[in-house]
Amino acid sequence: MFASKSITLIGGGVSVLLIAALTGCSASGGVPGASEGGELRLALLGDIATPDPDTAYDGSELNLVNSAYEGLLGYVPGQEEPELTGVLATAWTASEDNTVYTFRLREGVTFHDGTPFTADAVQSSFDRRNAIGEGPSYMTSGISSVEATNDHEVTITLEQPNSSFLDLLASPFGPKIISPTALEDHPVTDSGEDWFDSHDAGTGPYTYGDFEPGTSYQLHAYSDYWGNAPGYDMVRFDVFSNSATIQLELESGGVDGLIGYADAATFAQLESSDKLSAYAFPSMETPTMFVNPQSPDLADDAVRRSFVSAIDFDDLAKSALADTATPTEGVFPVTLLPADLNTQAIPYDATALAPLAEGQLADSTITIAYAQAGPAAQALSDNLAAVLNGAGIAAESVGYDTGSYYSVLTEGSSAPDITFYSGFPDTASPDAWGFVFYTPAGGLDLFGADVPGVADLIDQATVTGDDALYGQVAQLVSESGYWRSVATSLGLAVFQNGIDGVDRAYSPVITGVLDIALLQPPA
C-alpha cells in the first residue's frame, strides 16, 4: 500500500515474484535469457567486512556474498512471513527425530571457475566453515557426517536433534557451497591471507569483480548461471563516509540506490524527493533495551521491574524512530512466535517513575550506552535520557565506537546501566534469537544476564520445535526486566525512480540486504 506519494510500505499480502525451487528456475528471479545490461550503482555508508562466505557476519557485505554464493536452501524474498525455498537443493526430507536430513541437489550447475556442482562440494564447504571457526561456524558445528550418496544427493547427520537445522541452512549467514577446486587451490591457513576476501568461487548470479577496500566493490553477471539472469551486467558499490554525501549523490543521480543505513530524519528527507522512491520493508530487526544485572542502581529485582514498568515504550519508539519502526509488545521478534505466546509481562505504569525519582534513584545517574554506528540505538538512548531527566532522574546517553562498545559492557558494576541494541536473528527460528540474546553463551547477551531455566528451555525447544517452550522463555525473560524489546525496525531502501524489483527483493530476516539479482533497470 502507499502511505504517501513516495514511500512504499511493504507488508502482508504483497505479491511475490519467485519461482519455486522444483521448477528449475532461479531463486534469485530476474528475467529469462541474457542480462538486461547496464550498471547499477549502490552506496555503502562506511566500508564493509570482507566478503568471505565463511566469515561474513556483519550485514551489508551479504549484498556481495549472497550475490556470488548460494546455499542449499534460502528464504523466499519479498514477503513478510519467512518461507523456506530450495536453491542448490530441489527437495529435502528430515527424519522424525530431526537428526538426519537428505537433500536432492540441483543438476546442471557450475561454479564460477567451471567446476561442476556435485554432492562432494557440500562436505568440503562445510569443512572450510568449521576450520575457520568464526561467528557463523556454529551453523555447521553440530554436524556429525555428510555423505554423498550419489552425485546429486547428500545426507547430513547431526550430533543431536535440531528442529531448526533447515533454517540454519536457509539463513542469510548460512553455509554457502564453494568450488572444491578453489578450496584445494586456496586452503585455510594461519598466514592471515585469504584469497576469498577478494575472489569468489560460488554458483550465484554474480561474480566478484574489482575490489578496492574502503573505496568500491564490483559484481559482474555470471554468463553461465544455472537460473534466470540478473537484471544488471554490473553492480558497483561505492563507499561513502557520511550519510549527507550519500543523500546528495542520490538526489543528483550520482548513485542509484541506498540499502539500509538511513536514520529517521534522513529517510524523511529522501522520501520527500520526487526523483526517488523510498521503501520500508517488514523485518525481524528488533531494537532492544538491555539492563545491566550488576548495575548498582538497577540490580535489585523490584527496582529494575518498577523502572521497566515506568517507561512508556510505545511512546519512546514513536518519538525516537518515527516512520522507521513500529512499537512492539512482543518479546521475540513478532513473526517468530504466535502473539499469545509472545507478550511482555511487565505492563506500563504511568505512576511508577515519580516514586523512583524521589526514592531509590534519587541520587543516581543512569548511564545509557549505544554504539555510534547504530542510529536507532542512539535515538532511543537520547530520548530515554531526556525522559528520565525530565522526571528528575539524572541520566546520560553515551556513545561508543564499535571497537570499545562491546568491551565496556563487560565491566560489571562499572559498566553502563543500560544499553540499546538493534539486532536481528540469524534465522527465522525462535532459538536463533533466544539462544543468542537471552543466554550468556549466545554472544549477544550483552551484559551477561542469566535467568534460571531459560537456557534449558531453549535447549528443549531446539530439539522439539515446540512454540510453547519458547513462550515460557518469553515469559521468564520479560518478567526478569533484563531485556525489553522496543520496536520492530523497517528495512529501508531508497532508489532512483523506475528501478524495478525492489519490493520483491527484501529479506524477511535481516535489514540492509536485498536480492540484488532481482533488481531491474528502468523500462
Task: Give domain limits for the chain.
Answer: 7-236+492-518, 286-489
Instruction: Give the number of other CB atoms < 10 A from CB of residue 422.
Output: 23
Q: Which residues contact 265 (CB under 8 A, 6 or more apart)?
A: none
Q: What is the C-alpha to C-alpha distance for residues 172 and 516, in angstroms, rounded to an integer?
A: 13
Mean pLDDT within 448-466 = 95
Q: Is the pLDDT of residue 6 over 60?
A: no
- Least reliable range by pLDDT among 32-41, 97-106, 310-319: 32-41
Number of H helices and E strands in the chain, helices first, is 14, 21
CATH number for region 7-236+492-518 = 3.40.190.10
Q: Is the pLDDT of residue 390 over 70?
A: yes
Instruction: Give the number of other CB atoms < 10 A from CB of residue 357.
Output: 17
Of residues 12, 134, 182, 31, the one with CA closest to residue 80: 12
The pTM of the full predicted model, rounded to 2 decimals, is 0.85
Q: What backbone phi and psi angles, to 5 degrees, belong to 327?
A: -60, 150
Q: Is the pLDDT of residue 193 over 80?
A: no
Burial of 15 (0-12, 13-18, 19+ CB in 10 A): exposed
The pLDDT confidence band at residue 30, using thresholds 50, 70 and 90, is: very low
Q: Is the pLDDT of residue 7 over 50?
A: no
Instruction: Using alpha carbons only, give the angle 408, 410, 414 rounded to the nearest 5 degrees.
Output: 70
Say which residue the cell 526430507 belongs to.
93
Proportion of the chain above pLDDT 70, given as a percent? 92
Q: Is the pLDDT of residue 11 over 70?
A: no
Q: Which CATH number fits domain 286-489: 3.20.20.20, 1.50.10.100, 3.10.105.10, 3.10.20.30?
A: 3.10.105.10
Name the 3-class secondary structure at 34.
coil
| Cβ 385 vs Cβ 395: under 8 Å | yes
Residue 154 identity: V
